[in-house]
């Protein structure tokens, strides 16, 4: 059986991805901060042979031990998805404290660096694998996102990390992509009023509301044999909100 590692596995997007891959017969390793909901999350996955690993991505020692445990349990991962992110700080950049700005990078970028590169070490030995980072449509040049500048900067930085990994790992048959969802009604955006989601739905050409399941389907395709000739892409999941052709 194949094996997928998912950071932020207890969150809406991480869980949707986990469920999609579990349905396809993968062993799923969910990685998230220590949570009493670990067993509850696993119970929502199809089949057996899945594990929840409590891990603070900001601690490299914990990341290394967690990935080693996952590899020992299920073998070298075939796919790795970085979904984990800090809560969004909705403040203007001007006047923001440096510590607040830096905190937006702790999990998304620096945690992602540790998580993805440690996993890549395993994949390089196998000379195959798929690495996906969940970025955001805020990295699109036409994005109108407001009062979330620190989050936007962190997602741009993650996209840069993924681009460099795509170049570095391509000779090892490791495919690296970014998936950039539009606004989704998840706990990450629980502070937003309903009218914001209505406007986002009305504003994209397809007039659809983006869901974590849409993201999961895109990730699943990028980690399949159908996408074996692709690497280094940033895929917007926005209902056509930021077309690239």
Helices (H) then strands (E): counts for the chain: 8, 7
Closest CA to 84 of 23, 15, 150, 182: 15
pLDDT number for residue 38: 87
pLDDT number for residue 221: 98
Residue 97 CA to chain centroid, in angstroms?
A: 27
Q: Which two tokens stand for residue 109?
A: 């970028």
Contacts of 25 (CB under 8 A, 6+ apart): 1, 2, 47
pLDDT number for residue 76: 97
Domains of the chain: 3-237 (3.40.50.720)
pLDDT number for residue 35: 74
Q: Which residue has the tokens 């020692």?
A: 61
Local structure of 151: helix, strand or coil: helix
Buried b (16+ CB within 10 A) or exposed e, 227-237: eeeebbbbbbb
Q: CA-CA distances (angstroms) from residue 19 to 11, 27, 45, 71?
A: 12, 11, 5, 20
Tens of pLDDT along the chain (245 residues) come to: 999 999 999 999 999 999 999 999 999 999 999 777 788 999 999 999 999 999 999 999 999 999 999 999 999 999 999 999 999 999 999 999 999 999 999 999 999 999 999 999 999 999 999 999 999 999 988 787 878 999 999 999 999 999 999 999 999 999 999 999 999 999 999 999 999 999 999 999 999 999 999 999 999 999 999 999 999 999 999 999 989 88
Q: Which two tokens stand for residue 56?
A: 């603070």
């Amino acid at each position: 059986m194949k094996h997928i590692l998912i950071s932020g596995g207890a969150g809406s997007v991480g869980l949707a991805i986990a469920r999609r891959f579990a349905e396809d017969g993968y062993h799923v390793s969910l990685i998230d901060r220590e949570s009493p909901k670990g067993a509850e999350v696993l119970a929502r996955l199809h089949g057996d042979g899945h594990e929840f690993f409590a891990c603070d991505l900001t601690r490299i020692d914990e990341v290394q031990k967690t990935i080693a445990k996952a590899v020992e349990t299920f073998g070298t991962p075939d796919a790795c998805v970085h979904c984990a992110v800090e809560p969004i700080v909705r403040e203007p950049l001007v006047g923001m404290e440096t510590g607040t700005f830096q905190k937006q990078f702790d999990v998304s970028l620096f945690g992602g660096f540790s998580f993805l590169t440690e996993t890549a070490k395993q994949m390089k030995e196998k000379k195959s694998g798929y690495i996906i980072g969940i970025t955001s449509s805020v990295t699109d040049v036409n994005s109108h996102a407001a009062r979330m500048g620190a989050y936007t900067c962190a997602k741009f930085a993650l996209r840069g990390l993924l681009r460099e990994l795509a170049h570095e790992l391509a000779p090892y048959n490791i495919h690296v992509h970014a998936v950039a969802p539009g606004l989704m009604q998840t706990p990450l955006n629980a502070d937003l009023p309903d009218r914001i989601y209505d406007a986002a739905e009305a504003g994209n050409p397809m007039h659809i509301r983006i869901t974590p399941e849409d993201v999961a389907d895109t990730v699943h395709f990028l980690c399949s044999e159908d996408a074996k000739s692709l690497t280094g892409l940033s895929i917007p999941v926005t209902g056509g909100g930021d077309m690239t052709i």
